[in-house]
Amino acid sequence: MRHAVLNRRHLLAALGAMAATPAVGRAGPDGLFEVQWHVELTGAERAALGAWLGRLQAAAAGWWPRITAALASPGFTPTDRIILDLNSITPKTIPAATRGDRIIVDAAYVLSMVGNPDRLGMVAHEMVHVAQAYPPFAPSFLTEGIADYLRYYVLLPQDPGRGYDGARSGPWDGYQVTGGLLDFIERAHPGTVQAVNADLRAGGDGIGPLHKAAGPLTHAWRDYLETHPAAGTSEALAARVRALTP
């Protein structure tokens, strides 16, 4: 996972060369996404992606208000328009990335399993990054953990992609691992994720609100593991692998 984070930062660097009442983002009348095509496709591929985009637009119209409500903070107004850039990403280990209000998606990756719900969930994760709008160098384990918390525990709670290797994971791993821990803390201390988000958005490290709610992160992780989380079982990990295998 750490390698994935490092690659993502390199990718974003390359792409850079190319209120009192918190507001909630809403889709415009013609959809949330402005779709841009920056990849050569056959007619059949373009038709398949077009159908996928229709399903995505429909799902995203419901996701976006929930994401922005969960990550609301005073004085911050989320965008009501996201650029969805269908492109070819290098390295191929990164299927999608976000910079500002632009989500870049590797078209070939979507087409490889265009009917798989994971391809939609992947965009849900990236939509959270758009809503986060954190300053540079926010802790990646929390940035990615919050994105997967919202994907797997708020928007798509039946998504098998939440599975991870519980025997080899820790609270700083980010993604679905930290997402599961955040869900555990949020259930016990509602409002924690929103407080962490607000701190990160203001330039903090997010640790203070976590400590205030659940104590030291290592203690919270221990308490979480004692509940025997379903996402950390070998069965959940196997389900994740099956869901992501063509």
pLDDT of residue 20: 38
What pLDDT, on a 0 to 100 scale, did the predictor assign at position 29?
43
Tens digits of per-residue pLDDT, 143-200?
999 999 999 999 999 999 999 999 899 999 999 999 999 999 999 999 999 999 999 9
**What is the mean predicted confidence (pLDDT) over 209-227?**
95
pLDDT digits (tens, 9 = 90+) for 92-126: 889 999 999 999 999 999 999 999 999 999 999 99
Whole-model pTM above 0.85? yes
The stretches of the chain forming alpha helices (DSSP H) are 2-17, 43-70, 107-112, 117-132, 140-149, 175-188, 192-201, 207-214, 217-225, 234-243
What does the domain layout of the chain look like in residue ranges?
1-133, 137-246
Q: What are phi and psi of 139, to 5 degrees?
A: -55, 125
Query: What mean pLDDT value characterizes the chain?
Result: 89
Tell me: cis bond preceding 78? Omega within 30 of 0 counts: no
- Give the phi and the psi of residue 86 in degrees, each rounded to 5: -80, 115
Report which of 76, 75, 78 is spatially closest to residue 20, judged by C-alpha positions: 75
Examine the pLDDT at 21 and tell me if it is beyond 60.
Answer: no
Q: Which long-range contacts (CB under 8 A, 24 or more apart) does 138-141 make?
A: 138/200, 138/205, 138/206, 139/200, 139/205, 139/206, 139/207, 140/5, 140/9, 140/174, 141/171, 141/172, 141/173, 141/174, 141/178
